[in-house]
Amino acid sequence: MKLTVWTYEGPTHVGAMRVATGMTGLHYVLHAPQGDTYADLLFTMIERRDHRPPVTYTTFQARDLGSDTAGLFKKACQEAYERFKPEAMIVGASCTAELIQDDPGGLAETMDLPIPVIPLELPSYQRKENFGADETFLQIVRHLAKPMEKTARVSCNILGPTALGFRHRDDVQEITNLLYEMGIEVNVTGPMGASPSDIAKMAQAHFNVLLYPETGESAARYCEKTFGQPYTKVIPIGVGATRDFIEEVRALSGSTAPISEDRNRQTWWSRSVDSTYLTGKRVFIFGDGTHVAAAARFARDEMGFEVAGMGCYNREYARPIRALAKEYGLEALITDDYLEVEQTIEELQPEMILGTQMERHIGKRLGIPCAVISAPVHVQDFPARYSPQMGFEGANVLFDTWVHPLVMGLEEHLLHMFREDFEFNDAAGPSHHGGHAPAASVSGRDAPVSLESKMKPEPVPNASGAQIIWLETAEKELKKIPFFVRGKARRNTETYAAEKGLGEISIDTLYDAKAHYAR
Amino acid sequence: MNDLTPPPPSLGCRTSPVLKQRGQREVFCGLTGIIWLHRKIQDAFFLVVGSRTCAHLLQSAAGVMIFAEPRFGTAILEESDLAGLNDAHTELDREVARLLARRPDIRQLFLVGSCPSEVIKLDLSRAAERLTQQFAPKVRVLEYSGSGIETTFTQGEDACLASMVPVLPDTDACELLVVGALPDVVEDQMLGLLEAMGIGPVRVLPARNIDSEMGIGKNTVYALTQPFLSDTHAALERRGAKHIQAPFPLGEEGTTAWLRAVATEFGVDAATFEEVTQAPRRRARQAVAAAAETLRDKTVFFFPDSQLEIPLARFLARECGMTALEVGSPYIHDALHGPDLDLLPTGPQISEGQDVDLQLDRCRAARPDLTVCGLGLANPLEAEGLSTKWAIELVFTPVHFYEQAGDLAALFARPLRRKGILEAAE
């Protein structure tokens, strides 16, 4: 038993729903109690889908448990088939139905429906959403994809995109265009956008482009083994990775078509003088393994940030993320415990968080800017505009999105210079985010004070165990430091004082520590 | 006094035939109630003993994650908990001890049962007893079920309040108890009206914290402010308390009828009642009239969601001039919903329970001007050209009593006004 406040991943059957909802012509019959239908709103509200997810829930109740829940399942299956006339069905159990052991797959098999019925075994008490999506897509491919001759022209499949994926809609478009520029046709994109009959002809492709390993890697491995289709390993997020991806695809396809980088503005934007202020900004990166690895490379090599910490919530990626963190001189945080992530961020005091919707809330609480780079998603992660993360346009989008939450170059200096200005002070936050921060008044500095008190750590004991006391003048001086670095300054000063065995912190200690940590 | 209130219809819906279907239900489970209960009861923590699905539901239903650390969490059952129930109890004790150590402000802990905990027959009442002994007197531990196999949506609040009734102390005092979680601002308005009529002291269930709880006994009279509290109603009757039947305080008419029933019980004279209610009644009518311009002569179709459907249909029909085509409710209880059904003019199909696909067929055939439904259905129906009102907003917004009557009407009017604006510009 594990106490959880917020979760990064939903249950396994939600992963299966992401596959089913992304596809067309497929229906999912889910053995589940009343209430599990809440999952529909993830798709209709967060993603603003204009159709109900193709899911029938058996909706059993307590009074059914003693009688015939298996009969209820078969009835739901039959009615779903007759009403929706799908090309294929997937059947499975949610966490509660798993306990009553009705065996939906076996039951459906006895019904002799005239379409393929694919049973899903998704252990709800061991695994999570990404596994559910990955396994569901694998089973669909295993059951439906047939050996076929390769297409005459070189072609590939795009694997991994699902409903409710972080920017999957636009990534697929960007990469499809890129492949087209390289003279490569996309045979099937799936699961999102594919029908069962599309899946059937996946073997026609010469190779696979795996965009989202979290949800597509098992299928990619299966296709490699069964149909001799190699798959791409580079995730084209960032300019460098996109170039590497192009090279990888060239090697797999023999394409020699030149690729224009006209649309790549990111590289110059990062080199333009206004970006100087981005240099060495300390960022903390957290999300799914794939997006974290890509973001770390982009952050350090293409934005000039310092990666102060990184980690992922999906344990399946613990090993590669640990290895990667080591390359960055860090220890990876592998956890799906939101409070642990919050604590780590509080300790590290980064200048920016690159995270998920969860970290956005942590950032709000701690007064640290945050840009979202990974699922779990929120309604605002489905923008109306074209907004990919991948390819050259994706790199442009990343630049804009990551810079937006920050206080910009000269503004940062002005805040240092005129910190007591009643309108233009650090409590007001970046000036281009009007209305985000509470209005500052001449007398009240409510916002920074409350932030401060939240961020204020417990008194730190020094080397001899005695507690360190901030002198009033030093405390006052600390308040003059802009809020977005104040937490870090406090922590650095206290660490410095503790190391030096000091019992109190004066203005001198504050500036000694500043010099000590100068970079 | 009844100058502007139309007389009750000659034939209400109380005896109308009820369409009962079962199939897929597009409703939340009772765990959802935790979203508002954990804010209402300020010293309580709600610990769901369930699965990852339960945690995910709470997070998704909350819509946006709550800024502060919430006073709820899920103890997620793992493979090992399913193997041995004794171990599960030990694990639960450990998690509770850890939680209470971290949150010393918690005075009441609700262990909330879920579908998986009930299927594996994890006895939470035993756990609650054991933990109460361990943590008394500082913390009281109660348990109730919010599982989908037992409860829909608002029944979670009912189960929670019902679990509190047996532990309230006995009293002989002749007091009014108002039952149902209302937003604090609405609760204060209600208490103000009752006080002005000379009724008091008034007790409220749920109380905002454990110290302001009340006693119950044969002289207690109670009125419900929410139509989904049937188990709490039964628990209070078992304690000998007396129920004041009334329409629910939604809209000017409902609020007046509710207050009048209470006033009659407490012998408030007509002049006092008139004096206290006159001004807010006028304001409520005025505010409703503004929104009713958009709603008049329009049709409305209710999918079952919160059990608020019948009183809301009554409000829309009698105060806003709408015609109800179908009024679906998860459950209908005569003792609770009867007075509202009496006032709802005959005509609409009353339905209880749901087979969502069949109900969608009826809705599409009826082409209502406004469909009240859950979040899973709203966008798909909008895409088909049907205007919708998310039912959950009616539970999360202050809508009861006089000063909110206009807001309530406006909630229904807004989708229609929006459609009008966007279509006029096309």
Q: What pLDDT, on the 0 to 100 scale, is given for residue A414?
A: 62
Are the Cβ atoms of A83 and B26 closer than 8 angstroms? no
Q: Is A244 a catalytic residue?
A: no
Query: Model confidence at A442, in pLDDT bands (50, 70, 90)?
Result: very low
Q: Among the ranges A143-152, A377-386, A477-486, A498-507, which has the highest mean pLDDT value?
A: A143-152
Least confident span in A89-98, A179-188, B219-228, B386-395: B386-395
Query: Model confidence at A459, in pLDDT bands (50, 70, 90)?
Result: low
Task: Determine contact: B357 vs chain A, CB below 8 A.
Answer: yes
| Tens-place pLDDT, residues A499-517 | 888 889 998 898 888 888 8
Chain A: residue nearest B52 by CA?
A11
> What is the residue-wise DSSP string for A328-349?
TT---EE---HHHHHHHHHHH-
Run of H or E residues at B336: helix B334-343
Best CA proximity match to B47, nearest among B102, B95, B10 = B95
CA pseudo-torsion sign B198, B201, B203, B207: positive
Strands (E), B78-235: 108-113, 140-145, 176-179, 202-205, 221-224
- Give one word for A156, left, alpha or beta, with left for phi > 0 and alpha for psi -120 to 50: beta
Q: What pLDDT, on the 0 to 100 scale, is given for residue B422?
A: 93
- For the segment A81-87, the average pLDDT, to the nearest whole number, is 97
Are the Cβ atoms of A11 and B51 closer than 8 angstroms? yes
What is the value of ipTM here, to two decimals?
0.94
Are the Cβ atoms of A44 and B380 closer than 8 angstroms? yes
**What is the three-class DSSP state of A299?**
helix
Residues 6 or more apart from B29 whose CB is under 8 A from it?
A: A33, A34, A35, A36, A38, B57, B115, B146, B147, B148, B151, B152, B153, B156
Return the residue in B115, B120, B303, B359 with the most chain A beta carbons within 10 A, the one to mutate for interface testing.
B115
- How far is residue B364 CA from its own chain's centroid? 28
Return the residue in B27, B34, B49, B52 with the most chain A beta carbons within 10 A, the one to mutate for interface testing.
B52
Task: Determine contact: B92 vs chain A, CB below 8 A.
Answer: yes
> What is the residue-wise DSSP string for A19-37?
HHHHSSSEEEEEE-BTTGG
User: What is the CB neighbour count within 10 angstroms for residue B412?
Assistant: 24
Find where tokens 């050996």 sit: A147
Task: Determine contact: A101 vs chain B, CB below 8 A.
Answer: no
Query: Of A274, A400, A421, A508, which is the active-site residue?
Result: A274
| Tens-place pLDDT, residues A355-376 | 999 999 899 888 899 999 999 9
* CB contacts, 8 Å: B357 with chain A: 79, 83
